[in-house]
Amino acid sequence: MQNKGLIKFFAIVFALVCIYQLTFTYVSHGIQDDAKAFAKGDTDKEVAYLERMKDSVVYLGYTYKEVSDKQINKGLDLEGGINVMLEISVKEIIQGLANNSTNPVLNKALDEATKNREGNQDYLDAFFIAFDKVSNGSVKLASPELFTNRVMDQAVNTNMTDAQVKAVLRKKVAEAIDSAFGVLTERIDKFGVVQPNIQKIGESGRIMLELPGAKDIDRVKKLVSSTAQLEFWEAYKVGEMQGFLMGANQALMATEKKVETTETKTTQNDSIEKLLGGKDSLNAAKKGNNPLFDKLMPNQNGGPVLGYASTKDTASINAYLKRNDIRSLLTGDQRFARFAWGKEAAGAKGILELYALKGNKGNVAPLGGNVITGANAAFDQQNRPSVEMQMSPRGAMKWEEMTGKAYTQQGFIAIVLDNVVYSAPGVTTGPISGGNSQITGSFDVTESKDLANILRAGKLPAKADIVQSEIVGPSLGQEAIDNGIMSSIVGLLLVSLWMVVYYGKAGWYANVALIVNLLFLFGVLASFGAVLTLPGIAGIVLTMGTAVDANIIIYERAKEELRAGRTLDEAVKISYSWRGAMSSITDANVTHILTGLVLLIFGTGPVKGFATTLLIGIFTSLFTSIFIARLFLDNDIKKGNVVNFVTGMSKNWFTNFHYNFLGAKKFTYIFSSLVVVVSCISFYVNGLDQGIDFVGGRTFQVKFEKPVNVDEIKEELEKQFEGEYVDAKVFGNASQLRITTKYKVAENTVEADTEVNQKLYAGLKKHYTNLDYEKFASSYTGKQYGIMQASKVSAVVADDIKANSIWAVLGSMAIVFIYLMVSFRKWQYSLGAIAAVAHDVIFVLGIYSLCYKFMPFHMEMDQHFIAAILTVIGYSMNDTVIVFDRVREFLAGKTKGKFADIVNASVNTTMSRTINTSLTMILVLLIMFIFGGDSIRGFIFAMLVGIIVGTYSSLFIATPVLVDSVSAKDKDRIEHEHNDEVVVAEKVK
């Protein structure tokens, strides 16, 4: 090997750099451990400790913030926390750019785009298609009633074509999404978690937030989904709206069904009574005779509050108040009234206050949040948490005018955030000048801090829906770390042991290369600031198997050369040459890299982490296998030491194969055809267990105190979820279930999520001895029972994931087909490889379709499963390429015999390589399957089946298809050339 000194120097420098990079992770984790010890389980104290350390120099002149930026971060599934995908409403952005036009063509096009948007299609593209179809040239986008308006600020004029306006809209929408990204980044930076991650997902309007370690899930959701649309409205007094409410109740008596009920005293009524000042003040009307007042308790104490209602009744009341016949009872300026609910009051859980705001024809607030220049958490005169705000000069003038009017008329000003009334104070000291104001209400210190944070960051350009979320408890994360470490150690030991048992001294060299490879791998991950996930750990363990693959291919070739009578020096040089093992290694790893790149491009979250680890592992393992192990071999050659690449035990293992692979093709074709047919029938009869990634829905991993009956749980939850189908499966053991439902999955609100959690608790609480709702639903360190993990995927995201998955599988197969055709220069090789891969994919899918109903671990079709399928494609190609490379070598060589004999001989001589590469992979996958934990067991099982089937298909499907697709003419030519060459060689002798 040339330039050995340079390679040694590079390896040493690279190793030192990797060690240096990893020290940042070590130091950062040490400080985080100190924070945990100091906080003793108090998250706020832990965050405060790390916040204080942020600017302190802790290591080699670096501050803690700089050190933590250079560490390997733990992903959600290892640290616990929340992952949220927000979708900024592009529809609302377009409506805003059109100045909320009422043009029927525009609004119909928006509705059509919402309804007909295809998986993986941007909303803006769907809108353009729908607009062209609906308008049919009758209305131009540059029309004054559409996008030539003051909002667009002369970016569009009436002379522009639709194509030009579309380009402007794309730019404006992109700017709005960038603005939303900036607002959310500022909010999250102030939230107080270590190493938050926020990134845009292409131009789709989606933004992914990952907050490792976050435990207050509801707080996070409110923080990120709040539009921060702050408005100041005048509020009607209860006396001004009493006539309307009485008339509405009277009108509803004629249309609503009368239901006689017996009024009973409940905790809810106790809360209402407490709010209203006692039982005597309640309306004494008999329940069942008053449709509106049965749900809305009127306020008889004056002020801006019209009445009080239970949260569950607000939807019905809203429906009443929106009815045209009911709104027609409003007269004069009251016909523009806006009804809004207040924030849930402290001490009155589940009870909301109803307000009526003095609306106007344009439905524009007299004063908006855009005048706010600053906000900070404070306390009011009664020492209650509040938010102080500072206004711009223009806002201060308007505020003085509004407060002066309220003072004169003894009115009230409602402070409304995202259509929720936080407070509606009166003005008792005259007009307020200077632009300083205060929001008070029933919220705690944390909520006041979050509200001030939201107002400082500014409002989002449109509403942000939580279309996908995943919540992982910290206890589950620690369990995943323990399982990952266990599988890594056991996998490393077994692979190392096998290499020593099979290859002797050369096996030790491969093991040294493996250890160096792991150092390089972690060093590169640290340098990139990568996030380590549970699938990422799986990728590392998998890298252990791939790391020795190149060594196996090289060592097997060296053994062949030694058997042919060559010296150790000659055997090593040939095995490391292109005509030796390098062509096989290159082709195998290029196909593997291509499928890994597809996985990286189309994957998200943990799947992307798996792809990143896998790709880095491929490059580091290639370097260590080719160069590090070679250094030891060259040193033995220089010293005259003997290296046989075998041990006394393994000397005759996997040698002298003379199996007629092509002769067995009839049986293998029949067997594989039966598998394909049975699989297709199963797809039709059983289908596949499509996870929420593919169909949308909510999934909960729930831990019970003792084993439970699955059917009983399903029945109880279906009652709670109003008849919606619930799927429950044992996950790991009978005291832990994976529960899936589509109940209210289309409602992307915090309130809907909370309602689902409450119904889940109501259906399951009898299975717990002493577990309240807060402990059941919340996330905290040391949690043993309740919701351990929760995920939600909306239908539109599920469509995108499914589309991405299909394209990923088809795209990877197409890319590999093209590469093999270019590399081997014959399409028959590509055909054989693709036939084998298609067979493997159908086989794995068939196993999952046949077995998912009774297997003791979940076998869902989700993103992790697609990652497994793509990995199977990569490794199946790897095995096939090793075989094909020898076939190509023998067909271009001097082996005598018929075409089928030459191919059979080439396959038989690769058996040791094929078995060893597959065996090491199967070994590490088995270890991961046993020790890796329940959450990735289905993912690993798919790869395990795939590798086994891939080994079979590379021998019994790929090669026969290759042979059968070669024309008879080409076969005759090859046989003629080979036999003539042999005859000529014998005559020369």
119 or 609, which is more confident: 609
**Whole-angstrom distance, CA of residue 760 vs CA of residue 242:** 39
Q: Output DSSP code: residue 395.
A: H
What count of other Cβ atoms lies within 10 Å of the Cβ of residue 896?
15
Dihedral of CA atoms 328, 331, 335, 337 in degrees, nearest 10, equals -120
Is 849:682 a contact under the CB 8 Å cutoff? yes
**Tell me, what's the pLDDT at 475?**
58
63 or 488, which is more confident: 63
What count of other Cβ atoms lies within 10 Å of the Cβ of residue 446?
14
SS (H, E, C) 467-525: EEEEEECHHHHHHHHHHHHHHHHHHHHHHHHHHHHHHCHHHHHHHHHHHHHHHHHHHHH
**Tell me, what's the pLDDT at 987?**
40
Q: What pairing do the DSSP bridges indicate for beta strands 73-74 and 531-532?
A: parallel
Q: What helix, strand, coil percent values describe the chain, rounded to 5?
A: 60, 15, 25
Is 99:151 a contact under the CB 8 Å cutoff? yes
Could you identify the residue written with the tokens 């408005």?
A: 231
10 Å CB burial of residue 673 (0-12, 13-18, 19+) is: exposed
**Tell me, what's the pLDDT at 942?**
85
CA nearest neighbour of 148 among 90, 93, 91, 101: 101
Q: For residue 945, what pLDDT band results from cuts at 50, 70 and 90?
A: confident
What count of other Cβ atoms lies within 10 Å of the Cβ of residue 46?
22
Mean of pLDDT values over 226-234? 78
Q: Output DSSP code: residue 861.
A: B
Q: Which of 25-39, 499-513, 544-558 has the lowest mean pLDDT?
A: 544-558
Is 232:366 a contact under the CB 8 Å cutoff? yes
| pLDDT tens digit sequence for 659-707 | 887 888 888 889 989 989 999 999 888 888 887 777 778 888 888 888 8
**Tell me, what's the pLDDT at 354?**
92
Could you identify the residue written with the tokens 């053994």?
A: 559
Spacing of C-alpha 198 from chain mean position: 12
In 40-89, where does DSSP find H-type helix? 43-53, 64-69, 76-79
**Tell me, what's the pLDDT at 270?**
47
Segment of 207-221, 259-273, 298-312, 592-606 carrying the highest mean pLDDT: 298-312
Q: Output DSSP code: residue 417.
A: E
In 117-237, where does DSSP find H-type helix? 123-135, 162-189, 217-225
Query: Residue 964 phi/psi, 5° resolution?
Result: -70, -25
**Whole-angstrom distance, CA of residue 775 vs CA of residue 780:** 8
Dihedral of CA atoms 52, 57, 62, 66 in degrees, nearest 10, equals 0
**Whole-angstrom distance, CA of residue 986 vs CA of residue 590:** 40
Q: Output DSSP code: residue 690.
A: B
Which residues, at least 6 apart from 788, have a Cβ–Cβ distance to it below 8 Å? Answer: 472, 473, 475, 476, 701, 702, 703, 736
**Whole-angstrom distance, CA of residue 220 vs CA of residue 211:** 9
What count of other Cβ atoms lies within 10 Å of the Cβ of residue 859?
23
- Percent with pLDDT over 70 in the chain: 84
| pLDDT tens digit sequence for 17-54 | 888 888 888 888 888 888 888 887 676 677 778 778 87
- Which residues lie across from 416 on neighbouring strands? 231, 421
Mean of pLDDT values over 709-722? 86
| pLDDT tens digit sequence for 321-373 | 988 898 999 888 888 899 998 877 655 667 888 999 998 877 788 887 777 77
**Tell me, what's the pLDDT at 275?**
41
- Which residues lie across from 426 on neighbouring strands? 412
CA nearest neighbour of 917 among 513, 518, 493, 546: 546
Mean of pLDDT values over 431-451? 71
* Amino acid letter for position 412: F
Does the structure show a pLDDT above 70 at 280?
no
Q: For residue 193, what pLDDT band results from cuts at 50, 70 and 90?
A: low
Q: Which of 480-489, 572-581, 781-790 has the lowest mean pLDDT?
A: 480-489
Query: Residue 589 phi/psi, 5° resolution?
Result: -75, -30
Q: State the first-to-last Cα distance of the chain, in angstroms, to the nearest integer.
A: 35
Q: Output DSSP code: residue 145.
A: T
**Whole-angstrom distance, CA of residue 152 vs CA of residue 173:** 11
Structure tokens at 416: 């409304």
3-state secondary structure at position 966 = coil
Structure tokens at 950: 């891939």
922 or 210, which is more confident: 922
Q: Output DSSP code: residue 956.
A: I
Query: Residue 647 phi/psi, 5° resolution?
Result: -120, 170
Does the structure show a pLDDT above 80 at 271?
no
Q: What is each CA distance from 884 to 556, 843, 880, 964, 978, in whole angstroms?
A: 16, 22, 6, 14, 18
CA nearest neighbour of 464 among 87, 82, 123: 87
154 or 166, which is more confident: 166
**Tell me, what's the pLDDT at 478?**
64
CA nearest neighbour of 829 among 635, 962, 641: 962
CA nearest neighbour of 591 among 837, 344, 279, 276: 837
Residues 842, 822, 978: CA angle, nearest 5 degrees: 95
10 Å CB burial of residue 300 (0-12, 13-18, 19+) is: middle
Is 866:809 a contact under the CB 8 Å cutoff? yes
Structure tokens at 957: 């499907």
Q: What is the CA radius of gyration of the chain?
A: 34
* Amino acid letter for position 862: D
Is 412:235 a contact under the CB 8 Å cutoff? yes
Q: For residue 288, what pLDDT band results from cuts at 50, 70 and 90?
A: low
3-state secondary structure at position 260 = coil
| pLDDT tens digit sequence for 457-468 | 666 677 777 777
**Tell me, what's the pLDDT at 200?**
73
Q: Which of 95-99, 124-128, 518-522, 528-532 has the lowest mean pLDDT?
A: 528-532
Q: For residue 190, what pLDDT band results from cuts at 50, 70 and 90?
A: low
Is 490:498 a contact under the CB 8 Å cutoff? no
194 or 261, which is more confident: 194
**Whole-angstrom distance, CA of residue 873 vs CA of residue 857:** 23
**Tell me, what's the pLDDT at 278?**
40
**Whole-angstrom distance, CA of residue 720 vs CA of residue 741:** 11
3-state secondary structure at position 834 = helix
In 706-862, where does DSSP find H-type helix? 710-720, 750-764, 773-777, 795-824, 827-851
Structure tokens at 879: 């095995």
Structure tokens at 662: 């092509």
Query: Mean pLDDT over all residues of the chain?
Result: 78
Spacing of C-alpha 787 from chain mean position: 19
Structure tokens at 905: 């001989």
Does the structure show a pLDDT above 80 at 529?
no
**Whole-angstrom distance, CA of residue 876 vs CA of residue 951:** 7
Structure tokens at 640: 């005259």
* Length reported for the chain: 989
Does the structure show a pLDDT above 60 at 285?
no
